[in-house]
Structure 1
């Protein structure tokens, strides 16, 4: 199984704090880095977290608030200066996001208004989905392909051996010793790992649906529960609301990020976490540099 590692490069919301930078998350998959949002200071955070520039494959921008994309320009310029021939990088962003065309190694792809598939790899995919925030705001799904696993003990007992395993996968069944063996008799589908990133958003039924059975839900938690009215007005989410989404979606783990700078003290962070854990126990509040493996 390939290693799937998530590094939280920036976990503040709106403005940075001494301990939290602007939003950015790096997913490392098979040696490649996929950046989700790229706020101001992301390249420095990458240095501190030892996330290599040269491994960046793609960058995904959730929406066009400056705290989520201002770091793109400095990062690209650094790559341009440090590497004579930078590897190609794709940027997936909402409508109206533009780059000057001096960067020949950059491909800019616009996210369709309703989201959808953005990147299809050999064994994974990345898709966008709409969220309830400003116009053209998106969350993202990183999904490992489902895989078929054999019950080798049962398969051998029924006479399968050698090339028969690949043959039954192609045909769906085989006749062995006069008995028809179905592929489903000796194997099952193991769901691929799934990571969902909410971007900035208010709670919505669509997000609950999209996050269903995810291994990891990374959800914004701009406000504590006592600021629910303000969260609604600004189209954000409280920590308790994020936990309710995690519970309703049946996810395995919830990580809260995009923390308002008003919660700078350790005690206030504990309160955010306490609100969430009262609903969904397997919750943590991200800090800059946090690494989560799925």
Structure 2
């Protein structure tokens, strides 16, 4: 049975706190288990979640600020220690290739794991995933080269039993109609579109460390689950703009304008002791499902939208 969920490893920003580890997230998506922005301590956080290094199929790094990448050395070494039996893809900004090389070989170890290193060029990146779907990276606005990610599942179709029955289509013929796109029945050609409706594919978006820009909205567009930084509150909006970050209100407005279903706020500045203030601010702008992320929490991807039969 397929599983689609976000596992939160850490939710702090530049400085961890007693309650919040540096960044780190795992997306379980069917055959893919993607580690996103492993900050310092991510390897230990994984031990609390049931996700193992052996599970990982790829690693995505948005940029090379320490709170988003200092967990890479331990994670990469753990892949070798556990002798992961398949290549693990690693995506990161091409301009940070030197940083990645230093982190990969930060200390002496016996390297047995195979990494498929896939730097992201200035034009972004589109990668086909195992089991279908596209992983896309787009440039964000931050003082250093930074990319956000989104995963897009192609639209499918849902066959309508009543319409199939009306044409006398049943059993193996349904599978043939779905696969081929048409079926000749009783001297008439029945097309797949006549007996089905489009089933929208699911979308996941991951937006870290950025000021507002067009690609924030492009990544978030129609996301079923949007994980987005909300480093500051509106009282520090000027500071947020200066250093290339978002406020909770800005993140919430992005979600509303982009048609997001579930909004996950994270990457909180250590200056705030009570993160309920982030929820209060976001609620002024977003009416959908809202999650203020906590370390070691699990957030399910919402069920697929139910298509209308028309």
TM-score w.r.t. the length of structure 1 is 0.92
Deviations 1:159-204 (A, max 9, x none): 1123322332344323322333221110122112111000211112
Deviation at 1:280? Answer: 0.3
Asked if structure 2 preserves the Cα contact closer than 8 Å seen for 1:111 and 1:118, the reply is: no
| Deviation readout 1:140-161 (Å, 9 max, x if unpaired) | 1122332221002211221112
Partner of residue 219 from structure 1, selected from 219, 225, 228: 228
- Per-residue CA deviation, residues 106-150 of structure 1 (Å, 9 max, x unaligned), is 221111212121342222321111111134211111223322210
Contact 2:225–2:263 (8 Å) recurs in 1: yes
**Larger CA deviation: 274-283 vs 39-48:** 274-283
| Number of residue pairs the alignment of both structures matches | 290
Unaligned 5+ segments in structure 2 are 302-310
Secondary structure of the residue aligned to 1:284 is: strand
**2:111 is matched with which residue: 103, 106, 116?**
103
The answer to whether the aligner puts 1:10 opposite 2:24 as a matched pair is no
Task: Measure the CA separation in 2 of the matches of 1:33 and 1:291.
Answer: 14
Asked if 1 retains the 8 angstrom alpha-carbon contact of 2:58 and 2:89, the reply is yes
Contact 2:142 2:245 in 1 (8 A): yes
Q: CA deviation at 1:102?
A: 6.2
1:62 and 2:62 equivalent? yes
Task: Provide the residue aligned with 1:37 in structure 2.
Answer: 37
Q: Take 2:183 and 2:83, find their aligned partners in 1: how far apart are those partners? A: 55
Tell me the residue number matched to 1:174.
Answer: 183
Matched residue SS, 2:158 = strand
Q: Tell whether the 8 Å contact from 2:253 to 2:286 is kept in structure 1 after alignment.
A: yes
Q: Which residue of 1 aligns with 2:284?
A: 278
One of 201, 222, 236 as aligned partner of 1:192: 201
Decide whether aligned partners of structure 1 residues 148 and 279 sit closer, same or farther in structure 2, where only a CA change above 3 A counts. same
Instruction: State which drifts further: 117-126 or 152-161.
Output: 117-126
Tell me how far 1:44 sits from its aligned partner.
Answer: 0.6
Distance 1:207 1:32 in 2: 24
3-state SS in 1 of match to 2:48: helix
Q: Distance in 2 between the 1:210 and 1:252 partners?
A: 14
Query: CA distance change for structure 1 residues 109 and 155 in 2, over 3 Å: closer, same or farther?
Result: same
2-structure distance, mates of 1:222, 1:84 = 37
Structure-1 residue corresponding to 2:300? 293
**Structure 2 length as normaliser, TM-score?**
0.88
Distance in 2, matches of 1:164 and 1:206, equals 44
Partner in structure 1 of residue 75 of structure 2:
75
- Aligned equivalents of 1:147, 1:85: Cα separation in 2: 33
Aligned CA RMSD, in angstroms, stands at 1.9
Determine if contact 1:92/1:118 at 8 Å carries over to the other structure.
no
Query: Any stretches of 5+ residues in structure 1 without a counterpart?
Result: none
